[in-house]
Amino acid sequence: MLTELLNLDTIQITNEVANWQEAIHVASSPLLQQSKIEKRYIQAMIESIEQHGPYVVLTPKVAIPHARPSDGVNELAMSLLLLQKPVFFGPNKPVYLIIVLAAKDNSSHLQALVDLTQVLQETSHIDNIIGCKGPKCIIEKIRQYAAKER
Protein backbone atom coordinates (compact mmCIF):
# COMPACT_ATOMS: atom_id res chain seq x y z
CA MET A 1 0.00 0.00 0.00
CA LEU A 2 2.85 2.40 0.81
CA THR A 3 4.31 2.26 -2.70
CA GLU A 4 0.85 2.95 -4.16
CA LEU A 5 0.66 6.17 -2.12
CA LEU A 6 4.30 7.25 -2.48
CA ASN A 7 5.01 7.34 -6.22
CA LEU A 8 6.58 9.58 -8.86
CA ASP A 9 3.63 11.97 -8.55
CA THR A 10 3.90 12.38 -4.77
CA ILE A 11 7.68 12.41 -4.17
CA GLN A 12 9.72 15.60 -4.46
CA ILE A 13 13.35 16.50 -3.83
CA THR A 14 14.51 20.04 -3.20
CA ASN A 15 17.66 21.65 -1.89
CA GLU A 16 16.27 23.60 1.05
CA VAL A 17 13.29 25.48 2.43
CA ALA A 18 13.14 28.60 4.61
CA ASN A 19 11.37 26.97 7.59
CA TRP A 20 9.29 23.99 8.66
CA GLN A 21 6.04 25.72 7.67
CA GLU A 22 7.30 26.08 4.10
CA ALA A 23 8.44 22.44 4.20
CA ILE A 24 4.87 21.37 5.00
CA HIS A 25 3.47 23.57 2.21
CA VAL A 26 5.95 22.18 -0.34
CA ALA A 27 5.53 18.58 0.83
CA SER A 28 1.73 18.90 0.63
CA SER A 29 1.60 20.49 -2.81
CA PRO A 30 1.24 17.26 -4.87
CA LEU A 31 -1.74 16.21 -2.73
CA LEU A 32 -3.33 19.63 -3.09
CA GLN A 33 -2.80 19.58 -6.88
CA GLN A 34 -4.43 16.13 -7.06
CA SER A 35 -7.36 17.38 -4.88
CA LYS A 36 -6.64 14.68 -2.30
CA ILE A 37 -6.48 17.37 0.38
CA GLU A 38 -7.85 20.89 0.72
CA LYS A 39 -5.78 23.96 1.52
CA ARG A 40 -7.20 24.05 5.05
CA TYR A 41 -5.57 20.66 5.77
CA ILE A 42 -2.13 22.25 5.31
CA GLN A 43 -3.07 25.04 7.71
CA ALA A 44 -4.41 22.50 10.23
CA MET A 45 -1.09 20.60 10.19
CA ILE A 46 0.85 23.81 10.81
CA GLU A 47 -1.49 24.94 13.60
CA SER A 48 -1.26 21.54 15.27
CA ILE A 49 2.55 21.74 15.41
CA GLU A 50 2.38 25.34 16.63
CA GLN A 51 0.06 24.24 19.45
CA HIS A 52 1.67 20.93 20.41
CA GLY A 53 5.33 21.34 19.44
CA PRO A 54 7.38 19.19 17.04
CA TYR A 55 5.61 15.91 17.90
CA VAL A 56 5.59 15.05 14.18
CA VAL A 57 9.34 14.35 14.30
CA LEU A 58 8.80 10.68 15.06
CA THR A 59 12.35 9.53 14.50
CA PRO A 60 15.56 11.51 13.91
CA LYS A 61 15.61 13.22 10.48
CA VAL A 62 11.95 12.37 9.70
CA ALA A 63 8.73 14.32 10.27
CA ILE A 64 5.26 12.98 9.53
CA PRO A 65 2.90 15.96 9.68
CA HIS A 66 -0.82 15.19 9.70
CA ALA A 67 -4.13 16.55 10.94
CA ARG A 68 -7.64 15.20 11.42
CA PRO A 69 -9.55 13.71 8.47
CA SER A 70 -12.24 16.37 9.03
CA ASP A 71 -9.63 19.11 8.46
CA GLY A 72 -9.83 18.69 4.69
CA VAL A 73 -8.89 15.18 3.54
CA ASN A 74 -10.73 14.07 0.40
CA GLU A 75 -8.87 10.80 -0.15
CA LEU A 76 -6.25 8.68 1.63
CA ALA A 77 -2.91 10.03 0.48
CA MET A 78 0.77 10.46 1.32
CA SER A 79 3.53 12.60 -0.11
CA LEU A 80 7.24 12.78 0.58
CA LEU A 81 9.63 15.70 0.40
CA LEU A 82 13.37 15.04 0.61
CA LEU A 83 15.49 18.03 1.56
CA GLN A 84 19.21 18.19 0.76
CA LYS A 85 19.68 20.60 3.70
CA PRO A 86 17.67 19.93 6.86
CA VAL A 87 14.89 22.13 8.16
CA PHE A 88 14.51 22.43 11.94
CA PHE A 89 11.16 21.59 13.50
CA GLY A 90 12.58 22.50 16.90
CA PRO A 91 15.92 22.82 18.67
CA ASN A 92 18.01 19.75 17.84
CA LYS A 93 15.28 18.45 15.49
CA PRO A 94 16.81 18.56 11.99
CA VAL A 95 14.53 16.97 9.39
CA TYR A 96 15.41 15.79 5.87
CA LEU A 97 12.28 13.75 5.10
CA ILE A 98 8.81 15.24 5.42
CA ILE A 99 6.12 12.64 4.84
CA VAL A 100 2.64 14.15 4.77
CA LEU A 101 -0.09 11.75 5.86
CA ALA A 102 -3.68 12.48 4.88
CA ALA A 103 -6.01 9.91 6.42
CA LYS A 104 -9.66 9.81 5.31
CA ASP A 105 -10.79 8.00 8.46
CA ASN A 106 -9.36 6.32 11.55
CA SER A 107 -8.30 3.05 9.92
CA SER A 108 -7.70 3.09 6.14
CA HIS A 109 -4.17 4.49 6.57
CA LEU A 110 -2.99 1.96 9.15
CA GLN A 111 -1.41 -0.51 6.70
CA ALA A 112 0.52 2.31 5.03
CA LEU A 113 1.74 3.42 8.47
CA VAL A 114 2.83 -0.13 9.32
CA ASP A 115 4.78 -0.29 6.04
CA LEU A 116 6.27 3.15 6.69
CA THR A 117 7.31 2.14 10.21
CA GLN A 118 9.14 -0.87 8.74
CA VAL A 119 10.97 1.38 6.29
CA LEU A 120 11.94 3.93 8.95
CA GLN A 121 12.88 1.59 11.81
CA GLU A 122 16.51 1.33 10.69
CA THR A 123 18.69 4.45 10.76
CA SER A 124 20.58 3.12 7.74
CA HIS A 125 17.31 2.94 5.74
CA ILE A 126 16.61 6.61 6.49
CA ASP A 127 20.16 7.61 5.58
CA ASN A 128 19.99 5.62 2.32
CA ILE A 129 16.73 7.35 1.34
CA ILE A 130 18.22 10.76 2.23
CA GLY A 131 21.14 9.86 -0.06
CA CYS A 132 18.85 9.39 -3.08
CA LYS A 133 19.19 11.88 -5.94
CA GLY A 134 15.85 11.16 -7.60
CA PRO A 135 12.31 9.94 -6.86
CA LYS A 136 12.89 6.57 -8.56
CA CYS A 137 15.70 5.82 -6.10
CA ILE A 138 13.40 6.68 -3.17
CA ILE A 139 10.67 4.38 -4.51
CA GLU A 140 13.18 1.54 -4.97
CA LYS A 141 14.45 1.94 -1.40
CA ILE A 142 10.92 2.03 0.04
CA ARG A 143 9.97 -1.11 -1.93
CA GLN A 144 13.15 -2.85 -0.82
CA TYR A 145 12.79 -1.99 2.89
CA ALA A 146 9.02 -2.57 3.09
CA ALA A 147 9.37 -5.96 1.37
CA LYS A 148 12.28 -7.00 3.61
CA GLU A 149 10.01 -7.05 6.66
CA ARG A 150 7.19 -9.18 5.23
* 146 pLDDT more than 90: no
Average pLDDT over residues 28-53: 97
Taking the CB of residue 54, how many other CB atoms lie within 10 A of it?
A: 17
pLDDT of res. 114? 85
99 vs 82: CA distance, rounded Å: 9
Give me the domains of the chain, ranges plus CATH numbers: 2-148 (3.40.930.10)
Which string of DSSP letters, residue by residue, matches 18-79? SSHHHHHHHHHHHHHHTTSB-HHHHHHHHHHHHHH-STTEEETEEE-----GGGTB-S-EEE
Least confident of 5-14, 28-37, 93-102, 110-119: 110-119
Q: With cut-offs at 50, 70 and 90, classify the pLDDT of residue 148.
A: low
φ and ψ at residue 64, rounded to 5 degrees: -125, 80
Q: What is the pLDDT of residues 92-110, one digit of tens each?
A: 999 999 999 999 987 777 7
* 137 pLDDT more than 80: yes
Residues found in the chain: 150
* 13 pLDDT more than 80: yes
pTM higher than the cut 0.85? yes
Of all residues in the chain, the percent with pLDDT exceeding 90 is 82
Pick from 135, 100, 102, 140: nearest CA to 119:
140
Q: Give the amino acid at 119.
A: V
* 81 pLDDT more than 90: yes
Residue positions annotated with a catalytic role = 66
Q: How high does pLDDT run on average in the chain?
A: 93
pLDDT of res. 105? 86
